Structure 1
Amino acid sequence: MLSDFWKLMVEQGWALALLRGAAVTILIGMLGMLTGFLVAAPLAVLRWRKVLIISQLIDTYTVVIRGVPGLLVIYLLFFGSLDSVRAVAGAFGYQAAAENVFPLIVGVIAIAVISCAYSIEVMRGALQAVPYGLLEAARSLALPGKVTFFRITFPLALRLALGGINNVWQMTIKDTSLISVIGLQELMRTAAIAAGITRSSLLFYGIAAAMFFCMTIISQMAFSRAEHALNRGFGGR
């Protein structure tokens, strides 16, 4: 039994392939989450301030993205732009290179679009949860609006949003498994290929599940430490 496992994982190289797939999963998750959050932060502020028209457009975006399956978002982005990308890349003689890189780019964009919609709601809720008394105290000290926002409101909102951002990240790292449908060899697709070739579906899907679980546990520990650090002075443990 152990010898068969050794042959599959080491001699046939599936252990290294799974680790590479996990690295791709983490890379796409982090790039997508970071991109999504950088876009979500200013959009959340605009929605929180209820800027005319823009706030309604942002609200529509979050409702639509959160209301459709993530897989559908990936399909729309990939197949909706594939022909155009091929045509443009072919015109410059880079069609082969574009087709190799395109799934990665679409994967990151799709994850960013999905995580952005949820991050907007998390940040908006955190901004609304900042105690109004602190803002009144800032006004009583005649602090400029920009100073109040960047030194008081936004830092406190980030602290309050950390738990929600953790949830978005946990969802994001698992949503990366959906991009296997566009041919990108992340962890889930690598496990599926290995299961198909070796006929050991339970083994490789079980390993993939364990690796996803390890990613989420490590992420949870990191966010817990961050929350502990940010809660110092606020009565947090």
Structure 2
Amino acid sequence: MFDLKGYGHLLFEGALVTIEVAICAMIVAIALGLIGAAGKLSKNPVAHFFANTYTIVIRGVPELVLLLLIYFGGTVLLQTVAGQLFGREEPIDINNFVAGVLVIGFVYGAFATEVFRGAFQSIPKGQIEAAMACGMSKGQVFWRIKLPQVWRFAIPGLGNVWLVLLKATAIISVIGLPELTRQSTIVMNPTRKPFTVFLIAAALYLIMTAVSDVFRHRFERRAALGIRRI
């Protein structure tokens, strides 16, 4: 039943690509989340407007639509711009790995924004007021008081974002990136065992999420060291 006729290694290779995409996309999401949270908490109306618009629009548009828009639409746009400005007629292709990472990271950056916004608001205001009273600037308060503590409140939410993001990498299969779902469809054709192939793929996704959950709990405990629970 589980004989994949020598194609089984493709599934494990696809799982490695899935992890690579997920890690890179999570880094992008965290960076955008911090920027977005700063914008939403800012008193600057322009920054607040753009941060709100980002979260509202991105959370309302399906990831697949954004992926196709950037990968295929972006290729046409670059080709048009290069042709008109530089007279370039050679075809321009967007790297599918880069496109997948940027789209997934951009989408889940909106969710990370809300996680960080709530985390920053959870930091006791008394600590911030005490730091300001000691003469710290806003930058010093951010780096010395807010940022070190925000992870304790953000890690549970970021863990959930990571789990959803990890599974969302499956949509990148539509642009030909050889991640786990794409490799599963490739293995399915010569083996003619769709149930077996996708059962193994599902098991691999489950293993990745289960291991991720273990690390999330460890990060939570580490971030909470020295915190007295009542």
Equivalent residue number for residue 160 of structure 1 = 153
Equivalent residue number for residue 171 of structure 1 = 164
Q: In 2 relative to 1, CA 224–92 (structure 1 residues): closer, same or farther, beyond 3 Å?
A: farther
Is it true that 1:119 corresponds to 2:112 in the alignment? Answer: yes
**Counterpart-to-counterpart distance in 1, 2:202 and 2:71:** 26
Pairing 1:59-74 to 2, within 5 Å after superposition: 59-74=52-67
Structure 1 moving runs of 4+ over 3 Å = 84-93
Unmatched runs of 5 consecutive residues or more in structure 2: none
**Counterpart-to-counterpart distance in 1, 2:45 and 2:133:** 28
**Counterpart-to-counterpart distance in 2, 1:75 and 1:235:** 48
Q: Give the structure-2-normalised TM-score.
A: 0.90
Partner SS state of residue 146, structure 2: helix
In the alignment of these two chains, the number of paired residues is 226
**Counterpart-to-counterpart distance in 2, 1:17 and 1:91:** 37
Pairing 1:1-12 to 2, within 5 Å after superposition: 1=1, 5-6=2-3, 8=4, 12=5
**Counterpart-to-counterpart distance in 1, 2:15 and 2:30:** 22
Pairing 1:66-145 to 2, within 5 Å after superposition: 66-85=59-78, 88=82, 91=88, 95=91, 99=93, 102-145=95-138
Identity of aligned residues (%): 34
Amino acid of the residue matched to residue 39 of structure 1?
Answer: L
Question: Is the CA contact 2:39–2:50 (under 8 Å) kept in the aligned structure 1?
Answer: no
**Deviation for aligned residue 1:219:** 0.9
Unmatched runs of 5 consecutive residues or more in structure 1: none
> More deviation in 226-235 or 189-198?
189-198
Is it true that 1:185 corresponds to 2:192 in the alignment? Answer: no
**Counterpart-to-counterpart distance in 2, 1:51 and 1:170:** 33
**Deviation for aligned residue 1:36:** 2.1
Aligned with 1:37 (options 25, 30, 33): 30
**Counterpart-to-counterpart distance in 2, 1:37 and 1:201:** 36
Is it true that 1:56 corresponds to 2:49 in the alignment? Answer: yes
Output one character per residue of 1:64-89: Cα deviation in whole Å (capped at 9) or x when no partner. Answer: 11112111111111121122445659
Amino acid of the residue matched to residue 192 of structure 2?
Answer: R
**Deviation for aligned residue 1:46:** 2.2
Which gives a bigger RCO, structure 1 or 2 (Cα 8 Å, sep 6+)? 2
